[in-house]
Structure 1
Amino acid sequence: MKNKYIDLIDQTFYFPQEEFELKNNWLQFHGIDLKQLVADYGSPLKFTYLPKISQNIKAAQGWFQDAIKAHDYKGEYHYCYCTKSSHFKHVLDEALKNNIHIETSSAFDLDIVQQLKKSGKIKPDTYIVSNGFKRDQYIDNIAQLVNQGHDNSISVIDNYEELGLLRGAINRPFNVGIRIASEEEPKFEFYTSRLGIGYKDIVPFYKKQIQNDEKVSLKMLHFFINTGIRDTAYYWNELNKCLNVYVQLKKICPELDSLNIGGGFPIKNSLAFEYDYAYMIHEIVGQIKQYCVQAGVDEPNIFTEFGSYTVGESGGAIFQVLYQKQQNDREKWNMINSSFITTLPDTWAINKRFIMLPLNGWNNEYERVLLGGLTCDSDDYYNSEQHMNAIYLPKYNKDRPLFLGFFNTGAYQETIGGFGGLQHCLIPQPKHILIDRDEEGNLITSLFSEQQKSEQLLSLLGYSESPLTVTSEEDVELPETINYSI
């Protein structure tokens, strides 16, 4: 009888997979010895595997170049990373190794841009695409960047007043884009995005506000929908509506040369995940080419803004099952040594699901369980996986610690959870480990941040006379770097 956890996985999925395999009955992730990681750093912990960021960027760049060649496409492709997915320095440093550009969402984003310019990570030819609703400080920071001479700065107009605010703050010619207020799917809670300007209003806005202004050049039309880039009738219909506006504008605005199709590439959230990235890119490039040729206008440069796709699959979290509670004849609760609300807030806030696998116990019998966090909040739980409305794990044995991994968690969790701040029920944030490879391919691990301490939380709450700063890469005493071959 096949009743072991490994049997369940083999019967349900193709396994091993590109990033997952077993070695000595312990799970490995991209060749990372997770058993050793737990032995070195304990749990709970979070980690970032930096090479995965570059791997995903290079893959997308390659798919776009293949599609451009296949369609004899005349425009260029530019990969932007939208920093809101993860603002951490180690993420930006890794991403910027790959000849990419930056999309910003707020005033403080541009402070990060200025730091990266000073360090030489952002070059004069790096595009800075500034999106979002712009308040005074955001306008001032955009103006500072442009007035310093960063010509590849494009401020994407979100509403009718922003252009006047930018004119007043910038003292030299500057480039803008216009964001389309796309129509949402019929099942959505509202009809039109709150961001951008409506389809029918864009051309009149250009004629009235930009066409005869020698100081302002319209360089980009920006298109984004909440459901992301998916092979659905809705997506293709919205893309065609966007292309119709682009063609209308291009015929009266020669300097318009770029189409930003936003982001929304999905990331792997289940071992059953399937998505043909190359096919979607091929179809998008082909449709843009065909539409422009039929209209008699030049194909635009294509920009994308990939956030979760860039950084999401680099992250993971590891917990230990502390205890099992049998609450009735059907429900078993495996209590983890952290909180979902604290550590993976997307699971609580929007019911997001990640790949969840045990690190050990694969040769044990399996059982159906629920996962509970440490807080006293009834919403602090995880009760299903992406591919099924249930969770199965190796049977709990109090004498044999069971460790769980949540994978592809690298986007948004720290910013939503408020890294370094107060956490629900004062459950501390776990330590965070950075994992890289040297030139020989050996893994290198280092401690980015320690687990939060009581003194830090008490300081935030006003109980300490001297403010304490969050332990970071700069002010924590790091252990010796650990190197081990795989």
Structure 2
Amino acid sequence: MNTKYIDLIDQTYYFPQEEFNLDGEHLQFHGIPLNELVQQYGSPLKFTYLPKISENILRAKNWFANAIEKNNYKGKYHYCYCTKSSHFQHVMHEALKNNIHMETSSAFDINIIEKLKADGKLTNETYVICNGFKREKYIDNIARLINDGHQNCVPIIDNYEEIDLLSDAINDTFKVGIRIASEEEPKFEFYTSRLGIGYKNIVPFFENQIKDNDKVELKMLHFFINTGIRDNAYYWNELVKCLKVYVRLKKICPSLDSLNIGGGFPIKNTLAFEYDYQYMINEILNQINITCSEADVPVPHIFTEFGSFTVGESGGAIYEILYQKQQNDREKWNMIDSSFITTLPDTWAINKRFIMLPINRWNDEYERVLLGGLTCDSDDYYNSEQNMNAIYLPKYKREKPLYIGFFNTGAYQETIGGYGGLQHCLIPQPKHVLIDKDENGNFTYKLFRAQQKAEDLLDILGYQVDAEHE
């Protein structure tokens, strides 16, 4: 019988894959020897593989270049990175190597933009697309950026008050976009996004607040789908509705020349993942060409805002199985040396699944298990792979350590989990390692943050820690 873990994977998936392969019984991720990484730094740990960020940006740029040529598309393409996916400096610096633009969500994002400008990482030519509901601090920061000469900062109008607030704060003329309040998928608890302005209200809004305002120039229509760019009837229907608004608006607003098709590309969350990125881009540009041709208006320049796609597939987390608890005749709980709630919050908050594979012992027999975290919370668990409805791992043996990895975790988990702050049940934040390549193609490793210590958490909580106990 084929009872080894490697046999299970071979029977279930095409393996090895582009980013996953084996060196003996040890897993490699983009060639990174993960077992050696664990031996050097211990567990739990998180890592970021920086070259994957540039790789995905260049892939998307290439897909759009191919689609522009194939469709004889007359507009330009601009790649924006959604800072909210990961604000870390090492992520920003890697992304900005690729001549991209930025999308912000709140006031402090602008402070990061200003720091990147001071460091020479971006210039006034970089587009800064400002999304989100804007209150005083965000308005002030956007105004400061524009008043200091960043004319390519484009606030996206989210509500009816923002035009007046921005006009009062900005000294000279400025560009804006309008966000469409798209309709949500039928399974949502509400019908229309809380963000943006409704389809029917956009043209009247332009005529009432922008058309005769000498300070404001409308440049962009912003179309965002919460579920991302997917090949289904819902997405195509919303895109067609958006394009109808664009051509109506273009006919009365010559300055409008850009369409932001916000909503990201999906990333790989299972070894069975399939998605035809090139087809989707080709079809989007084809639909825009058709609609604009029929309406006899020029096609818009295209902006995208990719967050998870940019950084998600660069991240991973590694844990050790500490112990196995046989709770009844069917359920075996493998306990990890950290917490899912604190380190991978999307696994319990929105039931998100990541690729999960053992780091070692691929030649051992396997068993079905559940995975539990260290907090005393019933929700701190991970119990199924997306397409197998179960978790299988090499059999637990006390004398043979077992390490497991979760992959493509690089987007949102740190900020949602409260990176560097308090963690549920005071479980410490794991160490974080940055992985890069030198000019010779060799891997380099840098400890970005050590694991939290007791005094770190006590200090946040307001306790005085005696020096002798530090």
When normalised by structure 2's length, the TM-score is: 0.98
Aligned twin of 1:301: 301
Q: Supply the AA of the counterpart residue of 2:308.
A: S
Q: Which residue of 2 aligns with 1:324?
A: 324
Matches within 5 A, 1:26-175: 26-175=26-175
Write the deviation string for residues 282-341 of structure 1: whole angstroms up to 9, x where unpaired.
Answer: 100111111111110001000000000000000000000001111100000000100101
2:210 alignment counterpart:
210
The code of the aligned residue for 1:370 comes to L
User: 1:372 — aligned with what?
Assistant: 372
Partner of 1:475: none
1:189-338 mapped onto 2 (5 Å cutoff) = 189-338=189-338
Q: Retained in 2: the 8 A contact 1:332–1:370?
A: yes
TM-superposed CA distance for 1:466, in Å, is 10
Once residues 233 and 240 of structure 1 are traced to their aligned partners in structure 2, the CA distance between those partners, rounded to angstroms, is 11
Q: Which amino acid aligns with 1:346?
A: D
Deviation (angstroms), 1:448: 0.1
Contact 2:227 2:263 in 1 (8 A): no
Shift of 1:188: 1.1
Q: Secondary structure at the match of 1:180?
A: strand
Matched position secondary structure for 1:165: helix
Gaps of 5+ in 2: none
Q: Percent identity?
A: 74
Partner in structure 2 of residue 474 of structure 1: none
- Distance (whole Å) between structure 1 residues aligned to residue 308 and residue 455 of structure 2: 33
Distance 1:326 1:418 in 2: 32
- 1:352 corresponding residue in structure 2: 352
Q: CA deviation at 1:225?
A: 1.1
Secondary structure of 1:123's match?
coil
Structure 2 CA distance, aligned partners of 1:388 and 1:190?
A: 31
The residue identity in structure 2 corresponding to 1:68 is I
The AA in structure 1 aligned to 2:153 is S
How much does 1:464 deviate? 2.4
What are the Cα deviations for residues 237-261 of structure 1, in whole angstroms up to 9, with x where unaligned?
Answer: 1000000000001001000000000
Q: Is the 8 A contact 2:341 2:380 kept in 1?
A: yes
1:465 deviates by 7.0
- Counterpart CA distance in 2 for 1:81 and 1:127 is 10
Mapped partners of 1:466, 1:159: distance in 2: 51
1:186 counterpart SS class: coil
Distance 2:465 2:248 in 1: 62
Cα deviation digits, residues 75-105 of structure 1 (max 9, x gap): 0000000000000000000000001000000
| Corresponding pairs, count | 467
Per-residue CA deviations over 1:391-429 (Å, capped at 9, x if unaligned) read 001111110000000000000000000011000000000
C-alpha distance in 2 between matches for 1:229 and 1:341: 28
SS in 2 for 1:243: helix
What CA deviation, in whole Å up to 9, does each residue of 1:134-172 have, x standing for no partner? 010000000000001111110000000010000000001
Q: Unaligned regions of 5+ residues in structure 1, if any?
A: 468-486
2:151 aligned counterpart, secondary structure: coil
Residues in 1 aligned to 2:429 and 2:183: alpha-carbon distance in whole angstroms: 39
Per the TM alignment, residue 226 of structure 1 is displaced from its structure 2 partner at its CA by 1.1
Is the alpha carbon distance of 1:98 and 1:154 closer, same or farther for their aligned partners in structure 2, counting shifts above 3 Å?
A: same
The Cα shift of 1:342 comes to 1.1
Partners of 1:409 and 1:133 in 2: CA distance: 27
Q: CA RMSD in A?
A: 1.0
* Deviation for aligned residue 1:351: 0.8
Query: Which AA in structure 1 matches 2:314?
Result: S
Deviates more, 1:427-436 or 1:225-234: 225-234
1:431-450 correspondence runs (5 A): 431-450=431-450
Looking at structure 1, the residues matched to 12 and 29 of structure 2 have their Cα atoms a distance apart, in angstroms, of: 19
- Equivalent residues of 2:455, 2:465 under 8 A apart: no
Q: TM-score, normalised by structure 1?
A: 0.95
Q: Find the aligned partners of 1:234 and 1:38 in 2 and give their Cα distance.
A: 44
Segments of 4+ moved more than 2 angstroms: 464-467
Deviation at 1:212, TM superposition (A): 1.3
Report if aligned partners of 1:459, 1:466 keep a CA contact under 8 Å in 2: no
Alignment-mate amino acid for residue 28 of structure 1: Q
User: Is residue 2:455 matched to residue 1:455?
Assistant: yes
Change (3 A) 1:130 1:466: farther
Structure 2: distance between partners of 1:366 and 1:401: 14
Q: What letter corresponds to residue 455 of structure 1 in structure 2?
A: E
Alignment partner of 1:382 is 2:350: no
